[in-house]
A = this chain, B = another copy of it.
């Protein structure tokens, strides 16, 4: 059984791997987890020894099948817990990530199963991120970044930003996964988008930096 620390490393590598093309640089892992590079290097050797990653010094790491499975298991727990905290306990959207970051490592399989059942085997967390199923299969859900979108009508699929003020701002402006809106215009040089959000009045402006965290689907 991996420790909480090991699970966090695996999850971080999984996130950073993206499509899995190239190995993940050790420095990325280190900064993602806010540890020094030396600490990450040490851990990579551990994970390599445990068969959870393929680690090539100075090239990077990539998850093995076992490591990927473990990462998806933690991701599933994280996202189910987040949704549970929002849906059942009514916690704030922006608060649940920190809570889930620790609960994901400690709840029993039995408790997780009850949560999953109580939520009706959901496929997306409160941020719209897909929840891997019990077998570790990730539901496909294709969204494009709002930062790359041109004028048109869209639905917000996912906010890929786990903590902080962006979530609160989105709530305040009526933007949450599932919300529909019109992208009125996208001033690329200025880096500003103007939206008319269903259910909100007036026009909302936001910058590319924020839009980069929003995954949308044209409708």
Interface on A for B, CB 8 Å cutoff? 85, 88-91, 95, 98-99, 102-103, 106-108, 110-111, 114-115, 118
Contacts and interface: CB of A to CB of B under 8 A. Distances in A.
Contacts of A103: 103, 106-107
Contacts of A89: 111, 114-115, 118
B99 A85 contact: no
12 contacts: A85-B111, A88-B88, A89-B111, A89-B114, A89-B115, A89-B118, A91-B110, A91-B111, A95-B110, A99-B107, A99-B111, A103-B106
Nearest to A98: B108
Main secondary structure of the interface of A (DSSP, over half): helix
Nearest to A102: B106
Q: Determine how many copies of this chain the complex contains.
A: 2
Closest 10 CB pairs of A and B: A102-B106, A89-B114, A99-B108, A99-B111, A106-B106, A95-B110, A91-B114, A91-B111, A103-B106, A90-B114
A187 to B, nearest CB: 40
A117 to B, nearest CB: 9
Nearest to A108: B99
A46 B201 CA distance: 59
A185 to B, nearest CB: 40
Contacts of A95: 108, 110
A108 B96 CA distance: 10
Given A85-B111, A98-B108, A99-B108, 13 more contacts: A88-B88, A89-B111, A89-B114, A89-B115, A90-B114, A91-B110, A91-B111, A95-B110, A99-B107, A99-B111, A103-B103, A103-B107, A106-B106
A202 B108 CA distance: 38
A84 to B, nearest CB: 9
Nearest to A95: B110
A99 B106 CA distance: 8
A102 B85 CA distance: 18
